[in-house]
Structure 1
Amino acid sequence: MSERVVPEPRRQRRRPTKQGVILSRELIVDTALRLIEQHGADALTVRRLGTALGADPSAVYRYFRSTDDLLLAVADELIGRAQHGWQATGDWRADLRAIGLRIHAAYQAHPQAALLAAHRTTGRSYEIAAVEAILGVLRRAGFPDREAVRIYHAFVDQSLGFAALDAAALALPAAAQAADLEVWQASYARLDATTHPHIAATARLLTSDMRRSGYPYALDLLLDAAEARLPATG
């Protein structure tokens, strides 16, 4: 796609597409998200979008400058879905934990898109709202600005890092997912205690724990560390 985006006032398509719908940014983003989940990153092409929308592929130019512009919109949509329904309670730790788990869940619901979007910075409305909300939680809790920014940075990178890692596992074919999990039972659980005493001593726990995401526990560790810094900085 090239730099041929149509100015905002002229974007509205008056005639329905072949499928009887009126094009909009929201419809295109939703369709792109669905195509990515069904077919992976290669699905994000103007031709595929046009087919799925029942419209001429060039119509996408009326809303997005390039496929990367569209990808950023998809990334921002995932952030928006993570925020949907969230409200601050005044308990900074509970609020941050809820935000982190929402981010993780939103990306796990769309693992293929997460692989494309988790590392991007959109600078768009949903991302801006999320940054404002997280910094607001931290500053109202009493963290000085410098500390609030550093905790924000660690919190967001941790959330998105785990989201991308777990999304990559979910995006694997089912057989590969099962094979990876089986390694803990088939390999680690059978190691000899004389050569690998620590693995052997914890093998049962390892086999169980490695079947789920480590994010909730890692999030609690980060919040514990932040809480320990609050009295000293506040």
Structure 2
Amino acid sequence: MPAAAIPAPPWRAPKKTPAARQPLSAEAVLSTALRIVDRDGLDALSMRRVAQELGTGAASLYAYFANKDELLEQLLDRVVGEIPLPSPAAPDWVAEVKRSCYASRAVFCAHRDLVKVARANLPLGPNALRYTEALLAVLRGAGVPDRIAAWGMDQLSLVIVADAVETAIHAERGRATEADAAPYLAQVRDYLAGLPADEFPNLVAMAPMMIEGSGDERFAFAIDLMVGGLARHARGGDAR
């Protein structure tokens, strides 16, 4: 008859149950990396951290990604894949481009500060290529000249990325909502209004307007300006 198990002394800390090891694949690595970024932010992401959450060693990740930069590139492309592709068959191409810009911003803002990766990398992953191809098809189908379409698409992307990065930075600094940002913006307004009026007459006069409007309103204003500019080059010059 086997001897009864001897209980551990009460002063010993109970052993932790080891995390179940997940089957390793590129998809598992990307899913885990995105979960870390969404939860803890971009600075928290490392190959070691991903490996720990997968219950493996960091070296095993290099079978799928050469380094962290490659992981980030593919992670960003995975997120780009969440953006609905614009349709060249849409009856109103101006509205379709604007809708796509708003959708892109919403996707990037949903993943904390991952969008910072886009500042230094040309989006050349498969999802980014498909999105670019679709948006160019919309612009060219509207009669926007090729050079204007290429440059316009690039500059729209810069506005979207810059807005999403600024949104992420505001959130990091405790200004995730308009209400959170209101005290800071009020300080900026009062500071501008209190500048020497003889040296800064325009800033003093326009202090309230310099900070008014929500982030959504300002983003819509920027997109309206840019898409309206593209429309002037389109077939028929339909600048709406």
Q: Same fold (TM over 0.5)?
A: yes
Query: How far is the alpha carbon of 1:35 from its aligned partner?
Result: 1.8
Alpha carbons 1:135, 1:149 under 8 Å: kept: yes
Structure 1 position 137, deviation (Å): 0.4
**Larger Rg over CA atoms:** 2
Q: State TM-score, norm by structure 2.
A: 0.75
Q: State the match for 2:92 in structure 1.
A: 91
Structure 2 counterpart of 1:205: 209
Conserved? CA contact 2:109–2:167, under 8 Å = yes
Question: What CA distance in whole angstroms lies between the structure 2 residues aligned with 1:28 and 1:182?
Answer: 44
Q: Distance in 2 between matches of 1:143 and 1:117?
A: 26
Please list every run of 5 or more consecutive structure 1 residues that lacks an aligned counterpart in the other structure. 1-16
Could you say if the C-alpha distance between residues 232 and 213 of structure 1 is closer, same or farther in structure 2, counting changes exceeding 3 Å?
Answer: closer
Identity %, equivalent residues: 26
What secondary structure is seen at the aligned counterpart in 1 of 2:120? coil
Q: How does 1:195-234 map to 2 (within 5 A)?
A: 196-209=200-213, 214-231=218-235
For residues 26 and 170 of structure 1, the distance between their equivalents in structure 2, rounded to whole angstroms, comes to 29
Helix, strand or coil for the counterpart of 2:144?
coil
Could you say if the C-alpha distance between residues 148 and 174 of structure 1 is closer, same or farther in structure 2, counting changes exceeding 3 Å?
A: closer
The amino acid that maps onto 2:168 is: A
Q: CA RMSD in A?
A: 3.2
1:183 to 177, 187, 198: 187
Q: Aligned in 2, Cα 1:56/1:88: closer, same or farther, shift over 3 Å?
A: farther
**1:149 corresponds to which residue?**
150
The aligned amino acid for 1:134 is L
Distance 2:215 2:90 in 1: 32
Q: Report the counterpart of residue 109 of structure 1 in structure 2.
A: 110
Q: Is the 8 A contact 1:111 1:171 kept in 2?
A: no
Deviations 1:5-60 (A, max 9, x none): xxxxxxxxxxxx94353333233222212323444433222211111222232231
Q: CA deviation at 1:224?
A: 0.9
1:92 is displaced (CA, Å) by 1.2
- The runs of 5 or more residues in structure 2 that have no matched partner are 1-17
